[in-house]
Homo-oligomer: A and B are copies of this chain.
Amino acid sequence: MSEVVDALRVRIYDTTLRDGTQREGLSLTCEDKLRIADRLDRLGVSWIEAGWPGSNPKDAELFARARDHQLTHAKWAAFGATRRAHVRPEHDPQVEALLEAGTDVVTIFGKSSRLHVTEVLRVTLDENLKMIEQTVALLVKEGRTVVYDAEHFFDGWREDPSYALESLTAARNGGASELVLCDTNGGSLPWDVEAIVGRMVRAFSCPVGIHAHDDGGLAVANSLAAVRAGARHVQGTFNGWGERCGNADLCTIIPDLELKLGARCLPEGKLAELTETARELVELANLTPDPHKPYVGRSAFAHKGGVHVAAVRRSKRSYEHVDPERVGNKSRVVVSELAGQGNVHAHAEQIGLSLEDEEARSVVRAIKADEARGYSFDAAEASVAMRIERARPGYVAPFRVLDYRVIVGRDRDGQPTAEATVKVAIGDQVVHTAGEHQGPVAALDRALRAALEPSLPRVAALRLVDFKVRILDGRLATDAVTRVLVDTSDGDDTWSTVGASSSVVEASLEALVDGIEHGLARHARASVPPQEKVG
């Protein structure tokens, strides 16, 4: 195996900061971008494409700061276009900005498709080749290492293979060090990619790379196909961010290459940081994580079906394609309608508790009774954890909501408004507080925090980070049960809790209370010396 690894070294070119930010709804500050770059550098990617310095002032600022921002493993790359038609590259302000960016590596994209040259760029086929060669040559003369991104290469090849080839030759004549074949529209098939990349690998002596998009749902397969054909440079983005359907997702490609194709992309031991890196980037970008993402998603190794759960306990390998720990993720047993005692024991072990069989049986009974009333614990493992905590002898709840009231209506301007009061027992004290907001749940959350924070200061560190409402069997209309899922975070970890009731306010309160109580309980557990943790 180790020879294979040595032979198949694939370098990762990350374009999260440039192509990734083309994703609708994603916008990163300069500071965010530097933090993301640091994280990717620690993980061990080979290049970090920071932006297009000639295209906007934000990217220019980033390059100014990047100059003093040393990376330890990766190289900064600046991205830009070939010179405009009929000007010398040294007179093109966009090319000038690329030089001013001051990176060792510059990536230049140019046209390989006749359609694009004649219909989009509207220059002659010959002028396009000159634009490529002269732009690359100037940058090389100025001491830059040039990566050449051949835009629409596969579409161009299908139109006219000899012109597509000539465009690569022009870049190579200019002195480009790497030739990257781009499936810009994301519509290519892996078998075509493999055949075409193979021909280019044989035609050129320099390394060949791949840049894929996911419009046909095939960006990962196309990237792997290119590596099979000899590509040794893979471009993509973390979490697959990018325009339209996104770029090739490095969070999937890296483990596929390392664990399934025997390649080495990251420094030794770094693959185990993949999940953490992916999630940190989602946090920094302020996006909602996709729990179903291969390898790094929260549900990627979650087992729900009763048959599967039983099998997973008998043989770890039976329903997992790789060991989740290799990518820093973990198996999770989802406690579902088929909840048995075994699931509850497994769950308790995961959170570092152990239960007597009779206690586990009482948790199962409680869960089944709640499920019959509309609760669902699939996505609310912290509510399961709370039921396990509460079943243990000696557990004392840090607080208890005795009563509440919310008044909902409109204010004088016709805007929605809500005022909440709560009565909470904390130890032997009873606190009565109020809160207001536009909606009833937010008002109640405020009143509850006002009651808790003075006596339980740890509550201030717990933030409500997601809130979902589902009406069960909506055909019962307003008689239906409402299920509320809440995500609470202490900054390091996030957990989910559930409430259900025919009142949306009551259901929300239950989920809020479980979320806060779980945050306090796990903090208390973490503060106990290890020898007392078990039992």
Contacts and interface: CB of A to CB of B under 8 A. Distances in A.
Interface stretch (A2-10, A98-106, A499-507, A517-525): A499-507
A446 to B, nearest CB: 8
Nearest to A306: B55
Interface stretch (A358-366, A424-432, A451-459, A469-477): A469-477
Contact of A185 (B240, B256, B319): B319
B440 A465 contact: no
A482 interface: yes
A490 interface: no
Nearest to A405: B409
B504 A440 contact: yes
Interface string A76-118: 0000010000000000000000000000000000000001100
A279 B136 CA distance: 46
A477 B291 CA distance: 18
Interface string A166-195: 000000000000000000111101110000
User: How many copies, total?
Assistant: 2
A439 B505 contact: yes
A472 to B, nearest CB: 8
Q: Which 6 A-B pairs have the closest CB atoms?
A: A187-B321, A442-B478, A221-B221, A416-B503, A217-B252, A439-B503
B506 A286 contact: no
A390 interface: no
20 contacts: A23-B292, A24-B304, A25-B379, A25-B485, A115-B315, A116-B318, A119-B314, A187-B260, A190-B224, A214-B292, A220-B221, A243-B304, A245-B294, A245-B300, A288-B475, A403-B410, A404-B409, A442-B477, A442-B502, A468-B474
Contact of A465 (B303, B439, B477): B477
A249 interface: yes
Nearest to A308: B243
Interface in A251-288: 252-253, 256, 260-261, 286, 288
A151 to B, nearest CB: 10
B479 A442 contact: yes
Interface residues of A, number: 122
Contacts of A465: 475, 477
A322 interface: yes
B321 A215 contact: yes
A300 B408 contact: no
A231 to B, nearest CB: 15
Interface in A496-535: 501-506
Nearest to A25: B379
Contact of A190 (B190, B286, B299, B466): B190
Given A24-B334, A189-B224, A439-B502, 20 more contacts: A23-B292, A24-B304, A24-B379, A27-B376, A27-B472, A29-B472, A56-B337, A120-B311, A216-B294, A221-B221, A243-B305, A246-B292, A403-B410, A405-B409, A406-B408, A408-B506, A418-B505, A438-B502, A466-B474, A474-B487
A297 interface: yes
Nearest to A287: B475
Nearest to A216: B256
Contacts of A315: 115-116, 119-120
A469 B482 contact: yes
Contacts of A300: 215, 244-245
